[in-house]
Amino acid sequence: MTLTFYWYPKCGTCRKAKKWLEEHQISFNEVHIVDNPPSREELEKLYKKSDLELKKFFNTSGQKYRELGLKDRIPTASEDELLDLLASDGMLIKRPLLTDGNKVTVGFKEEMYKNTWA
């Protein structure tokens, strides 16, 4: 089983996650989240399989998130609006995003990776 690893190479958290995967000899396909962001349909699938709230898919510490004033918009936005926003710019998506098609993790915490992917 090969995982799909959406990441941004300049992101320190992404680099830590990649290193963890390599150290545990877990095979994955790298996808640059800005150059090749997941489509709206893919994001919807990932969200539905993740058991997470859709707001957890947003990179809340990103410049774009602040520029767009999303902190105030997200609580009242519809699911469709949120998915459209996420699909509009890879920098809005919390990273790394890792999936095998069934399971999904957003962000990187070593414990979460160990429980999900090891």
Whether 1 has a pLDDT exceeding 80, the answer reads: no
- Domain edges within the chain: 3-117
- % pLDDT > 70, the chain: 99
Nearest to 14 by CA among 59, 50, 70, 47: 59
Whether 61 has a pLDDT exceeding 70, the answer reads: yes
pTM of the model: 0.94
CATH superfamily, domain 3-117, is Glutaredoxin (3.40.30.10)
The C-alpha atoms of residue 26 and residue 23 are separated, in whole angstroms, by 8
Helix (H) or strand (E) holding 22: helix 12-23
pLDDT attached to residue 2 = 85
Whether 36 has a pLDDT exceeding 80, the answer reads: yes
